[in-house]
Structure 1
Amino acid sequence: MSKPSCYDSVERFVNYLERSGLRKRLELNDEDIADTLWLALQMGVEKTLSQGEQIQAQEQTIHENPIIQDFKDVEPPISIYPSPSDSLPEESKKEENIEGLPFQSPAAPALPNKLQISKALRPLMRKVPSYHRRILDVEATVNRIVDALIVEQDIWLSITKPQPERWLNLELVIEENRSSFIWQETINELEEILQNYGIFRTVRSWNLSNVHQNNLQLVSRKKGKHKNQRQYSYRELYHSNGRGLILLISDCVSTIWQEKTIYEWLQKWSNQSPTAIMQLLPERLWLSSELGLGYKVKLSAFNPGVPNSKLICGEDLDVEQALILPIVTLEPESLKQWAKVVTGYGRIQTAAIVLDIEFVKEQVNKTVISQSSESSPEAIVDRFLATASPTAQRLAGLMAAVPVSLPVVHLIQKTMLPKSTPVNVAEVFLSGMVERKKNKQVNEYEFVEGVRKLLNQAMRLAETEKVLDVVSEYIADKMGLSFKSFKALLLKLTDLSQEKKENLLPFAYVAAEVLRNLGGKYAEFAEKFETNHFQKILDNQQIFKLFAGEYICAVKWGREAGIWREGTENLSLSPQGEVQFPDFSRDLRKEGSKTAKMYIAKQSQQFKA
């Protein structure tokens, strides 16, 4: 019998993909299948030895190399490069206490549709002749050699041609603002796609921030803790050869968009190169951002790589100074339409926003930024419930039962809201209900005073108790404990080691506050816990790390026989437990330090930062 041909093998492989549903699920076309088969042929097949062949090979090796030392006596190879674990300092080897949760919690992939996104950007992968690099033109060189042989010339000269290379150079501008930490993983994964999938010739990443009013800062983006401090002009993004593409990633809600400078930069960029905004928020929330100052249109192009001013709009723009900005989202269909417009597909249209520059500048001058502290907690919560999605509302209610941190939010999303997205997290953090903790350099947040209580009372008791149990069980599991409920974890808190107490202290403090907000039997349990267990933990100096900051509070003066002073005084508490009273002399500060510490240890829940 003859062996099956290669054609039959390929046909069976394609039929298997059809039957198993892989071709439809992975959206594989004929070209993708051909590339897969080619790659498989290049990789080859690794030969696997049977057990008998492995024994025979080992015996042959021992016979050929009789002088072999025992494995325990063999020294490890010497390397001039330290291993990753050895190169870390002792502090970094320990697991870090991340914003109120002693362990990092697992997060779902920020971009689950990476393959679809990369396919959507394929129109941008066209190649053009290089200006500088050249390669051998084999066909033309062979023809010249043949002609030289015919006329009996002995000198053969090669012919070169421009090397094909990717068409566009991407300038990826990433806005840094107070909500950047929400999108960090999403932006990192998107940046990885744009840099590593061979879509662009070069990719340069930039950070755009607002340090001072009307003073935008553009710096080169570098991964890691060490940030580049050198500032660049907006002209650095210009490409004189017409092969540049500028993509600004933002949610358009920060104070950057309440200044004239950002619109001036966008105007100059869009007059030089194709410029677009990647809006991280869905379209239903665009009106609540600064994009609400413009109106939506559809754009197309018949020539590739034209600047925004030369894009074709489907309607007449009755604006003298119009800023036209294509708006794309992380949805593959949106990216696909935009990529085809950049490539000049003609009738394909992409969504865009048209801004009247004069009108925008007038609105910027009239803008009064309202602070969340000026509104009552009831007004803040009512506004959130009236505008947020149902998923975001439930997420906020669950977050109100635990410390406010991104690892905790990831844990809630994984266990209780698996269909939630970073957009829902952004709705909560940008709602005005959450504020950054005072005197904190890292991203630590807390609900605005009074908001947590309102959310606790609005949620069902069963859900609040469930999220406390979920977080408690996760923490106990990571610590090697077997607690299944928050009550069991709190009651056994004093029996744990000092290090575990310190890790659990923020969670225990918030849990006690939530139980007091729920009232009834929960408030009774909180009071019992604080009286019999919490006070034992507060005697340790580590408690001051939790309460470090500025306070307005009552202070007990005059040693043990002191009297209560009427009114309130300013107090500053350091992470080491040092108390300072800026309004009093040094002698009074020294005398009041000990009694103030005692008061904080006993009445810590009454202090408000």
Structure 2
Amino acid sequence: MDRLAALLTGLGRPEPDPVELAELLWLAARSGSAPDGAPADGPVGRAEPGAPGPDDPSPAAAAEPAGPLLPLHLPAADLADGTAAAGTVATPSVPMLARPLDLQRALRPLKRRVPDPHRTLLDEDATAHRLAEALRGSGPVHWLPVLRPGAERWLSLRLVLDCGPTMAIWRPLARELALLLRQTAAFRQVGSARLTADGTLTGAQPGPRVVTLVLSDGMGPQWRPGPAGDRWYRTLGALLRRGPVAVVQPLPERLWPLTALPAVPGVLGAPEAGVANSGYGFRPLDRPACPGPVLPVLEADPAWMANWATLVGTWGGTEVVGAALRIGPAPVGVEGTAAVGPAGQDAEELVRRFRAVASREAYTLAGLAALTTPALPVLRLLQRAAFARPRPQQLAELVVSGLLTERPGHQDRFDFRPGVRELLVHTLPRSVTHQAVGLLIRVGEQIAARAGLVPDELAAIAATDTEGAPLTAETRPFALVSPAALGIVGLREPAAAGTARIGPRGARAVLFAPNADAVEAEHLRELVTALGNPDQVGMRPERIWLGLDAVEDFRIALHRAAQETDSILLVYLSGIAPPEIGRVLAGPFGRRHGLVLMVDQVDGIPPELPHPKVVMIRRRSDRSLASLCNEVLRTGRFGGPPELDLRDFARELAERADPGVRLEVELPEPMLFTRNPAGQRYCYLGRAPGEDPAVDRFVADLGEEVWQLTDLAVATRQPGAVARCEVFVPLYEREYFRSARCGREWAVFARRTELPRGFVPVFGRPVDHLELPLSAQQLDYRDQQYGDDYARLGLFGLPQQQYELAVHRIAARIVEVAERHHVPPGHPVDLDTLPDAFR
């Protein structure tokens, strides 16, 4: 019966109830044939790679569409395993919470209003009735309006994100859960905090009528014996005595004994609504009860959340079934809580062990992942395409199974352990090829359907047959998309035959600066590092040559680079130009490839140079060209695409250089050059960290709120950020307006816009209006939308709850201003050369 129900839900239909199952069996016994669309063979109890997904109920919908399909690949880290590709695709992924509406409905017991003692409303009916009664008399009319207390939500909620070493992969789940809790409208406000690996809880402590949810997998050191565990358990004990607290566990219940939170099933009881955990009763099902505060542990599932919400929100108390564990003054070492590692086990033993303990869906997902690259966004796409009811627990089982190893430097990219992929592929049906194609087609349809509606999460690569393209991709695709779908998701520089791109494959660089002083030599070494950095230009380090003295060595290196390169030759010259350089650059190399020539204070460069080319010449300057290149590579082009081509890089370099620079760009095709670190938008808060604890706390809280709302980032004293930010946030207090640096930063931003466009002032501490500079007086810095006491006490003088609400509204205002005004970016300037706007 369970297998039949799973098959029906796998076809995209609602989960059948017992009556529907009985009627289906009765009809099948009398029809003498299988229902239309039922598979003739293959496993029944799991979702096959070719089985239709939840948005594709008909088996016919899995058929391949007419026309060519292009594969999408992930960028390859190892060039030896890569395949040539033509362009990058901003690709959205699917949410980890598949049923957000059900989760919101599960929290309905907490959605209650109570009288607000700080706010009163006019009762119009009662006031009219009182006035009518007063007018009946013959004497003077004396009456007062009838006021009734306002209403507010009963509880506030604080979501604590565990920042332990294994929690990085669950950040998408944290963002979705925070957004869901805010959209539920069940709480006065939803705050956030972070639990660091050393056991420190950052963020404000909860006040009265505040519920705390901790998102954690229970694998970090703060949950185990040691200094971090002792620190966290002291804080946790205080929280359990103050209000309701629960842990949302992304791992499924069957894996909890392997963590430091081995919660056991039982009956939880609360004597009253909203009571703290110290007042809970707990009767385990399989062991005797013991004293101590109780910490409920929940799966991120509507049924679990509904039971917990009933426990917290039922007036007069109630009992529910759940899972919990007793919390003492310090963590206790639990047998079996060691890391889930497969030390000493071969591939066959790993797969056999995983198959014995994993759920049916997790094991199927492992087989599907073996067909492609196991990256977290890709696994979520596969999960949504294969299962009718995807859940985070299914993904968690695979991640902690021991079948995967994390790639260095990539917390959401994995590799299968040796031999595991082959064994998992063999577990799939014989028709795996056709089924895999159908699955990849449905993944591509999901990507196209979500393009432009949800944020892009990964940069995929659209593979073509273009030869010599330096972008490399994983051999196995994770989706098949049509050319029309590529237009929807936005293919950057789509395949164009002969498109030359600088990058890790085929490019060479020769840098020569004889008699360079120590400063220039250091700048050149930094440039060599940036050229070889995979996160910047990404050239092969062994293909970059740097010379500081010998001219003969430079001639040899230039000849060798010109002969070996098959795409781009980058030549940097400073101080002297050997006579032979013109003949070398205009020789056979120039008829086959492109040239990037950077010349710094050099005479005698021949006018005849090969095409295509980019030539940048500086004849006199106080700063070396290498230092400007390093600055552009480090700061990027604000508001540009994720990658900069050589044309954008050269123009950005020329705009920051002296007026005497000469720039020649003759590029028939785009040439991808470097990543763009300034693709992220900023709002700038002009106070350095460490100057004031209250300001540091505000920066952290504001950054957390803005991070939850958009892709903006809060910058403080980052190089060039004030010249490129979209929103400027001045902090109104005496210390701010006494700072000459803050005044110069105001002047930088004021040059790019006009008051009040792009400004979001924050009234930090009370300051007399006449003490403010004239430009600061023109802004509305005492905005009443941040609270009634904000204009009188300032942000840092507000009580805790009003402070959190004000920070949330400030963050929302920043996002609104950024989306509305779009202040154009400027260029970094030397602050010491600007006047103080406050003087």
TM-score by length of 2: 0.41
How far apart are residue 275 of structure 1 and its match?
Answer: 0.9
Q: Are the structure 2 counterparts of residues 254 and 107 from structure 1 closer, same or farther at C-alpha, using a change threshold of 3 Å?
A: same
Q: Partner of 1:578 in structure 2?
A: 541
With CA pairs under 8 Å and 6+ residues apart, which has the higher RCO, 1 or 2?
2
In structure 1, how many angstroms separate the alpha carbons of the residues matched to 2:124 and 2:276? 37
* SS in structure 1 at match of 2:293: strand
Deviations 1:199-219 (A, max 9, x none): 111111233342xxx34353x
Amino acid at match of 2:112: R
Q: Partner of 2:356 in structure 1?
A: 386
Q: Partner of 1:68 in structure 2?
A: none
Q: Partner of 2:145 in structure 1?
A: 158
Q: Partner of 1:257 in structure 2?
A: 223
How far apart are residue 406 of structure 1 and its match?
Answer: 3.2
Within a 5 Å distance, the mapping from 1:195-206 to structure 2 comes to 195-206=182-193
* Native 8 Å contact 1:395 1:417 kept in 2: no
How far apart are residue 407 of structure 1 and its match?
Answer: 4.0
How far apart are residue 269 of structure 1 and its match?
Answer: 0.8
Q: Partner of 2:474 in structure 1?
A: 507
The correspondence for 1:247, drawn from 213, 228, 243, is 213
Does 2:112 match 1:126? yes
In structure 2, how many angstroms separate the alpha carbons of the residues matched to 1:476 and 1:306? 48
* SS in structure 1 at match of 2:268: strand
The correspondence for 1:446, drawn from 399, 415, 419, is 415
In structure 2, how many angstroms separate the alpha carbons of the residues matched to 1:274 and 1:578? 56
* SS in structure 1 at match of 2:332: helix
Amino acid at match of 1:403: T
Deviations 1:65-90 (A, max 9, x none): xxxxxxxxxxxxxxxxxxxxxxxxxx
The correspondence for 2:393, drawn from 423, 427, 435, is 423
Percent of aligned pairs sharing the same letter: 26
Q: Partner of 2:260 in structure 1?
A: 290
Amino acid at match of 1:507: E
In structure 1, how many angstroms separate the alpha carbons of the residues matched to 2:128 and 2:444? 72
The correspondence for 1:326, drawn from 279, 296, 302, is 296
* SS in structure 1 at match of 2:307: helix
Does 2:339 match 1:352? no
Q: Are the structure 2 counterparts of residues 317 and 209 from structure 1 closer, same or farther at C-alpha, using a change threshold of 3 Å?
A: same
Q: Partner of 1:238 in structure 2?
A: 206
* SS in structure 2 at match of 1:357: coil
In structure 1, how many angstroms separate the alpha carbons of the residues matched to 2:446 and 2:192? 40
Amino acid at match of 1:116: D
Deviations 1:496-515 (A, max 9, x none): 265xx555x3332x58xxxx
Q: Partner of 1:190 in structure 2?
A: 177
* Native 8 Å contact 2:282 2:294 kept in 1: no
Q: Are the structure 2 counterparts of residues 344 and 465 from structure 1 closer, same or farther at C-alpha, using a change threshold of 3 Å?
A: closer
Q: Are the structure 2 counterparts of residues 448 and 178 from structure 1 closer, same or farther at C-alpha, using a change threshold of 3 Å?
A: farther
Within a 5 Å distance, the mapping from 1:266-415 to structure 2 comes to 266-292=236-262, 294-314=263-283, 318-320=289-291, 322-345=292-315, 346-357=317-328, 360-363=331-334, 369=339, 376-415=346-385
In structure 2, how many angstroms separate the alpha carbons of the residues matched to 1:243 and 1:153? 47
Q: Partner of 1:228 in structure 2?
A: none
* SS in structure 2 at match of 1:284: helix
Amino acid at match of 2:200: L
* Native 8 Å contact 1:99 1:444 kept in 2: no
How far apart are residue 277 of structure 1 and its match?
Answer: 1.7
How far apart are residue 353 of structure 1 and its match?
Answer: 0.8
Deviations 1:108-128 (A, max 9, x none): 554443333333222212211
In structure 1, how many angstroms separate the alpha carbons of the residues matched to 2:223 and 2:504? 40
In structure 2, how many angstroms separate the alpha carbons of the residues matched to 1:478 and 1:107? 7
* SS in structure 1 at match of 2:326: strand
In structure 1, how many angstroms separate the alpha carbons of the residues matched to 2:233 and 2:146? 49
The correspondence for 2:103, drawn from 108, 117, 121, is 117
Runs of 4+ aligned structure 1 residues displaced above 6 Å come to: 472-479
Within a 5 Å distance, the mapping from 1:554-573 to structure 2 comes to none
What do you get for the CA RMSD once the two structures are aligned? 4.8
* Native 8 Å contact 2:470 2:505 kept in 1: no
* Native 8 Å contact 2:258 2:338 kept in 1: no
How far apart are residue 274 of structure 1 and its match?
Answer: 0.9
* Native 8 Å contact 2:385 2:442 kept in 1: no
* SS in structure 2 at match of 1:413: helix
* Native 8 Å contact 2:223 2:331 kept in 1: no
* SS in structure 1 at match of 2:365: helix
In structure 2, how many angstroms separate the alpha carbons of the residues matched to 1:111 and 1:368? 28
* Native 8 Å contact 1:175 1:207 kept in 2: yes
How far apart are residue 130 of structure 1 and its match?
Answer: 0.9
* Native 8 Å contact 2:160 2:215 kept in 1: yes
In structure 1, how many angstroms separate the alpha carbons of the residues matched to 2:426 and 2:192? 45
How far apart are residue 177 of structure 1 and its match?
Answer: 4.9
In structure 2, how many angstroms separate the alpha carbons of the residues matched to 1:121 and 1:172? 15
* Native 8 Å contact 2:470 2:502 kept in 1: no
In structure 2, how many angstroms separate the alpha carbons of the residues matched to 1:449 and 1:573? 28
Amino acid at match of 1:576: M
In structure 1, how many angstroms separate the alpha carbons of the residues matched to 2:106 and 2:438? 42
How far apart are residue 168 of structure 1 and its match?
Answer: 0.5
Deviations 1:247-293 (A, max 9, x none): 1223334444335244333222111011112233333333333322x
In structure 2, how many angstroms separate the alpha carbons of the residues matched to 1:472 and 1:577? 35
In structure 1, how many angstroms separate the alpha carbons of the residues matched to 2:233 and 2:303? 27
* SS in structure 2 at match of 1:252: coil
How far apart are residue 325 of structure 1 and its match?
Answer: 1.5
* Native 8 Å contact 2:252 2:397 kept in 1: no
* SS in structure 2 at match of 1:266: helix
* SS in structure 1 at match of 2:373: coil
Deviations 1:34-84 (A, max 9, x none): xxxxxxxxxxxxxxxxxxxxxxxxxxxxxxxxxxxxxxxxxxxxxxxxxxx
* Native 8 Å contact 2:116 2:152 kept in 1: yes
Amino acid at match of 2:397: E
Amino acid at match of 2:420: V
In structure 2, how many angstroms separate the alpha carbons of the residues matched to 1:426 and 1:340? 27
Amino acid at match of 1:299: L
Q: Are the structure 2 counterparts of residues 397 and 122 from structure 1 closer, same or farther at C-alpha, using a change threshold of 3 Å?
A: closer
Amino acid at match of 2:155: L
Q: Partner of 1:434 in structure 2?
A: 404
* Native 8 Å contact 1:137 1:159 kept in 2: yes
Q: Are the structure 2 counterparts of residues 379 and 359 from structure 1 closer, same or farther at C-alpha, using a change threshold of 3 Å?
A: farther
In structure 1, how many angstroms separate the alpha carbons of the residues matched to 2:419 and 2:210? 50
Q: Are the structure 2 counterparts of residues 579 and 466 from structure 1 closer, same or farther at C-alpha, using a change threshold of 3 Å?
A: farther
Gaps of 5+ in 1: 1-21, 26-95, 219-231, 480-491, 512-536, 546-571, 581-589, 599-609
445-454 vs 274-283, which moves further: 445-454
In structure 1, how many angstroms separate the alpha carbons of the residues matched to 2:357 and 2:89? 33
Q: Are the structure 2 counterparts of residues 332 and 473 from structure 1 closer, same or farther at C-alpha, using a change threshold of 3 Å?
A: closer
Amino acid at match of 1:333: A
How far apart are residue 437 of structure 1 and its match?
Answer: 1.7
* SS in structure 1 at match of 2:539: coil
In structure 1, how many angstroms separate the alpha carbons of the residues matched to 2:442 and 2:308? 46
How far apart are residue 387 of structure 1 and its match?
Answer: 1.7
Structure having the higher helix fraction is 1
Q: Are the structure 2 counterparts of residues 318 and 164 from structure 1 closer, same or farther at C-alpha, using a change threshold of 3 Å?
A: same
Amino acid at match of 2:175: N
How far apart are residue 361 of structure 1 and its match?
Answer: 2.6
* SS in structure 1 at match of 2:296: strand
